[in-house]
Amino acid sequence: MSESNHPEQPSRILIVDDEKTLRLVLRRTLEKQGYSILEAANGKDALQICAEQSVDMVLLDAMMPGMDGFTCCTKLHEMQLQDVPPVLMVTVLEDSKSVDLAFEVGATDYVTKPIHWPVLRQRVRRLLQQRWMMQEIHRKMETEQALIAQLEAANRELQRLATVDGLTEIANRRRFNDYLNWAWQHLAREGSFLSIVLCDVDFFKQYNDTYGHQTGDACLHQVAEVLTQVAKRSTDLVARYGGEEFALILLNTNLEGAIYLAEQVRDQVKKLAIPHAKSKIAPVVTLSCGVASVIPQPDFSEDLLLSVADDSLYEAKMQGRDRVVSNTRTLADILEEKQIRGTIEGDR
């Protein structure tokens, strides 16, 4: 392995000097150390080479006609921004002002003429090692950032899967409960209506028994698509409530608006004309829907609203199915009923 000790290939050093003889001596000296050498006779050519090729280090003469090394170093930093190779300035100037200027324009280090060759070799080696170390650090950082990004994406996907029903690809019961709780608290502060629509596929057990579970799954997927198409607002939530039951959570929607959407869902599902030979009410798949709507109050639970919607769905089934039933009870009515029920049960 060469003295450059580069793990993959020889380091590429650009020598910039208007003295051809010095360039030749520098080339031979550095090539003996295992480096790959490029040459430029002036600052303009040096910038062109750096723009077109990858360079690991620049050995730059400070005093050149036309564009001097200080100007060249400044433009190199402007051109390559964060990916600037280390610059070892070679100068006959030893005054503090010139040295300060070299560092101000971005030189990494400097050596003076006449060149002391052992010093030059050590400076070159040290600067290249520093560059390799920084490149390795950047590679590791990029790798870590990529891994972090992959991990974050995986976590987002896991969170999504945890709240999505695998069959219908809509929200699952867990997501429904979380969203309903949030919506209740949010609309209690706003004093706005919150509505729920619970839907049940009529005689779905008979459908599965007749056509098989795979066809039943396809039926549920079609019903979910109808619900998603009807409830289009970003604040609406469509969820699989359980089995063949679905639910809509509708923010800022009063009872009349919720009934309208429920009727649309029921009508659109029926228009799918999915055959259901064992249905007792129609030759196609139908839905029963229960609707409830209240203005939430922060001191009470969203379970109150859910219980009303569930009662409405039960009533829709009792009335013959394939219909929408709503309950006009207010929150005060619900609370009063629960208090009365609690009193009766207590007396027992």
Q: For 164-173, what is each residue's pLDDT tens digit?
A: 998 999 999 9
Q: How far is CA 237 from the centre of its chain?
A: 21
Q: Which residues contact 169 (CB under 8 A, 6 or more apart)?
A: 221, 224
So what's the pLDDT on residue 82? Answer: 66
What is the per-residue pLDDT across 198-217, written as a single tens digit (0 to 9) for each? 999 999 999 999 999 999 99
Q: Which two tokens stand for residue 167?
A: 């069959």
So what's the pLDDT on residue 334? Answer: 65
- Angstrom distance (rounded) from CA 90 to CA 219: 80
104, 190, 244, 256: the catalytic one is: 244
State the burial class of residue 65 (Cβ atoms within 10 Å of its Cβ: 0-12, 13-18, 19+): exposed
Q: Which residues contact 328 (CB under 8 A, 6 or more apart)?
A: 255
- Angstrom distance (rounded) from CA 178 to CA 156: 17
Q: Calculate ∠ Cα 287-292-295, nearest 5°.
A: 155
Residue 223 · residue 269 · CB < 8 Å: yes
Intra-chain end-to-end CA distance of the chain, in Å: 94
- Angstrom distance (rounded) from CA 181 to CA 178: 5
This prediction's pTM: 0.59
Q: Which two tokens stand for residue 114?
A: 């006449």
So what's the pLDDT on residue 81? Answer: 63
Q: Which residues contact 220 (CB under 8 A, 6 or more apart)?
A: 167, 168, 201, 240, 244
244 part of the active site: yes
So what's the pLDDT on residue 5? Answer: 45
71 SS3 class? helix
Q: Report the run of H or E that residue 197 belongs to, with start and end.
A: strand 194-201
So what's the pLDDT on residue 344? Answer: 45
So what's the pLDDT on residue 299? Answer: 77
Type of residue found at 84: V
Please report the domains of the chain, with CATH numbers, ordered by start residue: 12-140 (3.40.50.2300), 173-347 (3.30.70.270)
Nearest Cα to Cα of residue 240 among 211, 276, 282, 204: 204
Residue 240 · residue 168 · CB < 8 Å: yes
What is the per-residue pLDDT across 75-122, written as a single tens digit (0 to 9) for each? 998 887 667 899 999 888 777 788 888 889 988 888 888 888 899 899
Q: Name the stretches of the chain with pLDDT < 70.
A: 1-8, 81-82, 328-348
- Angstrom distance (rounded) from CA 242 to CA 204: 12
